[in-house]
Amino acid sequence: MKEIITRFPPSPTGYLHVGGARTALFNWLYARHMKGRFVLRIEDTDAARSTKESVDAIFEALEWLGIDWDEGPYYQSERFDIYREYIQKLLDTGNAYYCTCTPEQVAAMRKAGMAAGGKAGYDGTCRDKGLSNSEGAVVRFKTPLTGTTVLDDVVKRNIVFNNEEIEDFVIQRSDATPTYHLAVVVDDITMNINTVIRGDDHVSNTPKQILLYRAIGHPLPVYGHVPMVLGNDRTRLSKRHGAMSVTAYRDMGYLPDAFLNYLVRLGWSFGNQEFFSKDELVEKFTLDNLGSSAGVFDTDKLLALNAEHIKKDSKSKIAGHLMPFLKARKIDAKQDEYLESVIGTLNKRSKTLIEMAESAEFYYQKDVIYDEKAARKNLTSSSLASLGMLADRIESIEKMDEQSLENAFMEVMEKTGLKLGKIAQPARVALTGKTVSPGIFEMIEVLGKEETVIKLQKAVEFIKK
C-alpha cells in the first residue's frame, strides 16, 4: 500500500478557527494512524488579505494543539513559476485557452443565461478562437461540453455533476496569477497528496478540480467531505455562537487534548466512546467512521470534557499548561513536585485552568487574605481554642499523612467537645481565606507542617485582635 499523504492548507487571512482546526486534526490523525505524512501549506495567493500575523497565529494555534507537520510550510506565493508551467501545459494540450472577454461582458453573459433559464456562466465566446496572450487576457479551462464528472467521496458517496453545467472557468487571471482551483490541484499533485479531507463547502469546487486532474493526467486523490460545524441553533458556526479562534479557547483555560477530543467528535465516532486521549485518537482514527451529519458545537459539552481531561491527565502535563495562568495571577510558582501536589488536590474540582489557578492561589500566599464574610462567621472567639490546639497538635506530628492529621483533629474534637465541621471549617478559612477548598487533610498535607502551623497561629492572632 502506498504511503498516505494528507495536507492542511489554511489561508492566512485571520486566526485559525474551529472548523479549520477540525480539518487539520482529521488530516493529521489519518496521516499519523496510517504512519504517513502530513503537509502544511499556506494558501497566500490573496496578497491583499494575507498577513504574516495570520500566518504566525495559525502556527501558534497548531503548536498549542500539538499538530505537527512532516513537510512545509509551503507558501503558494513562492510557487508561481510552477503554476505557470502547468498552465502552459494545459494550453499546449488544448485543455485551456486565452479569453479576452471583459468582466462586464462575462457579467452580461451570466445575466442572459439566467434569464433564459440556462447556464448562468461564461458562454464560451473565446473557446475556439485560438487567441494568443495579450494584455488583460485570462486563461480559461476548456470544460467538456457533454458527459458527467463523478465525485467518489468516502463520506458522501457518489455525487454526479453534469459537465454542461460547469462553465469554462478561469485558471489564470489577467495579472498572470493562478486561481484557487489551478493552484490547489498543482500543489496536491506536486506534493504527492493522495488523501483530501475537507469541509463539504468544497463539494461544489471538486468537479472543476477533478477535471483539472484528468487534463493533467494525474490520478485523483481520495476525497472525504465532512459536514460543517454548526452552532447550537444549527446554523453555520460563527462569532455570534461564541469564540471562533482556537487560541481563545486556550486563553479560557482549556487543555489542548480536551479541545482535540471535542473537535474530533464533531464528525467522527468510535462506538459510544466520548473520552479519548491523543494517543487513542491516533490509534483508532479511520476514514470509515467519518460521519455524514453536521456536528453541533456545544460549549457546555466542551467544558464537561475539559473537566474530565483535567481530572485524568497527568499532573506533570497539566502543570506545564497551568503555569501561564498562575503567572497571570502573579503567583510565584515553579513547575516542580510541589505544583504537581497542588494540582492533585484541585484536578477533581476544576473545570478550567483559570479555575484551577484561582483555587491554587492560597498555596503560594505567605499571608492569607480572609474573605470578610467567611472570617466573620468562622474566625470567632468560639474557634479560638480549637485552632490553637490544632496548631500545637500538628506541630508535634512526626510524619505528615492523612491518618496522622485525622488523629490530630480527633484529639481536638475530644478535648473541645466540638464536631469535626466546627473545627475543620475555621481551619479551612485560616489556611485559605475561604469556606471552599480541597479536602482539609489533603490540603494540609500539601501545605506542609510549618506553613500550616504558621497560618493557624496567624488566625489565632487575628481572632485575638
**Nearest alpha-carbon partner for 62 in 107, 98, 112, 27:** 27
Distance CA 42, CA 191 (A): 13
Annotated active-site residue 239? The verdict is yes
CB proximity list for 364: less than 8 A, separation 6 or greater? 326, 331, 332, 333
Amino acid at 214: R
Strands 71-75 and 37-42: parallel
Phi first, then psi: what are they for 267, rounded to 5°?
135, 5
CB 82 within 8 A of CB 89: no
CB 443 within 8 A of CB 360: no
Q: Is the peptide bond before 227 cis (omega within 30 degrees of 0)?
A: no
How far is residue 208 CA from its own chain's centroid? 30
Strands (E), 136-265: 138-141, 148-153, 157-162, 170-172, 195-199, 222-226, 229-230
Considering the candidates 129, 239, 312, 348, report the single residue annotated as catalytic: 239
Task: List for the chain the helix, strand, coil content (%; round to 5).
Answer: 50, 10, 35
3-state secondary structure 259-321: HHHHHHCCCECCCCCCCCCHHHHHHHCCHHHECCCCEECCHHHHHHHHHHHHHHCCHHHHHHH
Distance CA 43, CA 67 (A): 18
Distance CA 218, CA 357 (A): 54
Distance CA 354, CA 253 (A): 5
Q: List Cα–Cα distances, 204 to 116, 165, 210, 340, 381, in angstroms.
A: 23, 12, 11, 51, 76
Phi first, then psi: what are they for 453, rounded to 5°?
-65, -45
What cell does 85 get? 508551467
Q: What angle do CA 29, 32, 37 make, to 5 degrees?
A: 110
Strands 96-99 and 138-141: antiparallel
Active site amino acids = 239
